[in-house]
């Protein structure tokens, strides 16, 4: 598809992937959405640099105690404000509602803490414009970025759980840097107000059959850009995924799920330990996690994993008998 400069006369409409309409001889309408909480030192620069790549910039100030809203507005963003901090999920919900008012061809989301580079936006929007994807996720884990160990470890764990739930193989399920086709937006129903929203959206869209692609991006951690303790962040996301929200999950033991995650933690810790000097602390933590996880699985016969294994075994036995 050839994209001419915005404002060309006599523009025609072409049908993109899944029937979304995009102007063929004018620049696509791209709304860039940025959730922000106490980001006065970075939000102005992010908004300013993003204007090159979008027709509208919308910032949700999620109850900040600083000048986030004024800095965003001063640099050209449309700002919507929560009176109190409600969480990333609530901010994204507000942003998508605001973005829809502009009837965009594509909605891009990125963080306001400075870790994402707005110049990567075309890398994410191009597959949507070319009809190759409905959703494009910016992947930080591509071997080119210097990412702290605790982030790699936490994301490996969250990737495993999210991909298992969604039936996908996405390398960076927790990336907030994404491009969504306009046809996807009405299908996004956010119920998770916190940091689990990134997993929730991917799981929901994957189960609906939308095509999800990834593109490598650059990321900068000039300090700890997260406003949450990393352990707290990981726990909150895990709980948002595994705790019962639907009727078929209500039989799963919360205690069993929580402890069984120790087994998954052990596996991922082991992966990192083989590339690190031996540590008695790491070995002890892994052993404890493995023991707790094994006991949890043994004591949780109604757990989802046990039920899946039993069904699989029964199916194989039935196949042999036939």
Residue at a domain's end among 216, 231, 252: 216
Bridge partner list, 82:
62
Structure-model confidence comparison of residues 249 and 241, the more confident one: 241
313 within some domain: yes
Q: Kindly state whether residues 59 and 126 are assigned to the same domain.
A: yes
41 within some domain: yes
Q: Kindly state whether residues 176 and 280 are assigned to the same domain.
A: no
pLDDT tens readout for residues 47-81: 999 999 999 999 999 999 999 999 999 999 999 99
pLDDT tens readout for residues 211-223: 999 999 999 876 5
- Integer CA distances (angstroms), 120 to 66, 88, 127, 303, 314, in order: 28, 22, 13, 42, 49
Boundaries of domain holding 167: 13-216
Task: State pTM to two decimals.
Answer: 0.70
Res 52: pLDDT: 95
Q: How far apart are the first and last CA of the chain?
A: 54
4 within some domain: no
Res 16: pLDDT: 44
Q: Kindly state whether residues 153 and 302 are assigned to the same domain.
A: no
Closest CA to 58 of 109, 7, 119: 109
Q: Kindly state whether residues 192 and 247 are assigned to the same domain.
A: no
- Integer CA distances (angstroms), 218 to 42, 117, 197, 198, 214, in order: 17, 7, 22, 19, 13
Structure-model confidence comparison of residues 94 and 263, the more confident one: 94
Please give the backbone phi and psi of residue 238, each rounded to the nearest 5 degrees, phi first: -60, -45
Q: Kindly state whether residues 68 and 150 are assigned to the same domain.
A: yes
3 within some domain: no
Res 211: pLDDT: 98
Q: Kindly state whether residues 247 and 205 are assigned to the same domain.
A: no
Q: Kindly state whether residues 184 and 110 are assigned to the same domain.
A: yes
Helix axis angle, 197-207 to 230-242, nearest 10°: 30
Q: Kindly state whether residues 94 and 212 are assigned to the same domain.
A: yes
CATH code where residue 76 lies: 3.90.550.10
Sign of the C-alpha dihedral, residues 186, 60, 220, 44? positive
Domain count of the fold of the chain: 2
In the predicted model, is pLDDT for residue 142 greater than 50?
yes
């Amino acid at each position: 598809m050839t994209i001419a400069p915005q404002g060309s006369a006599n523009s025609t409409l072409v049908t993109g992937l899944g029937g979304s309409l995009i102007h063929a001889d004018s620049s696509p309408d791209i709304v860039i959405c940025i959730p922000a909480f106490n980001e006065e030192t970075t939000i102005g620069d992010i908004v300013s640099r993003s204007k090159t790549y979008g027709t509208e910039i919308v910032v949700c100030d999620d109850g900040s105690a600083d000048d986030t809203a004024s800095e965003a507005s001063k640099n050209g963003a449309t700002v919507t404000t929560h009176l109190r901090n409600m969480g990333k999920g609530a901010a994204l919900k507000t942003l998508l509602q605001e973005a829809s008012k502009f009837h965009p061809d594509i909605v891009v989301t990125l963080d306001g803490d400075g870790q994402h580079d707005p110049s990567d936006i075309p890398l994410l929007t191009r597959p949507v414009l070319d009809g190759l994807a409905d959703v494009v996720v910016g992947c930080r884990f591509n071997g080119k970025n210097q990412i702290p160990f605790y982030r790699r470890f936490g994301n490996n764990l969250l990737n495993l759980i999210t991909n298992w739930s969604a039936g996908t193989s996405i390398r960076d399920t927790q990336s907030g840097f994404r491009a969504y086709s306009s046809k996807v937006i009405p299908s996004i129903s956010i119920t998770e107000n916190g940091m689990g929203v990134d997993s929730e959206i991917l799981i929901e869209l994957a189960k609906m059959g939308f095509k999800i692609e990834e593109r490598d991006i650059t990321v900068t951690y000039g300090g700890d850009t997260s406003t949450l303790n990393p352990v707290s962040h990981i726990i909150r996301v895990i709980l948002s995924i595994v705790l019962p929200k639907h009727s078929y999950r209500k039989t799963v033991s919360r205690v069993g799920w929580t402890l069984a995650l120790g087994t998954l933690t052990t596996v991922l810790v082991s992966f990192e330990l083989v590339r690190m000097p031996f540590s008695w602390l790491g070995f002890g933590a892994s052993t404890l996690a493995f023991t707790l996880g094994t006991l949890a699985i043994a004591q949780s016969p109604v757990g989802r994993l046990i039920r899946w294994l039993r069904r699989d075994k029964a199916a194989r036995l039935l196949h042999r008998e036939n």
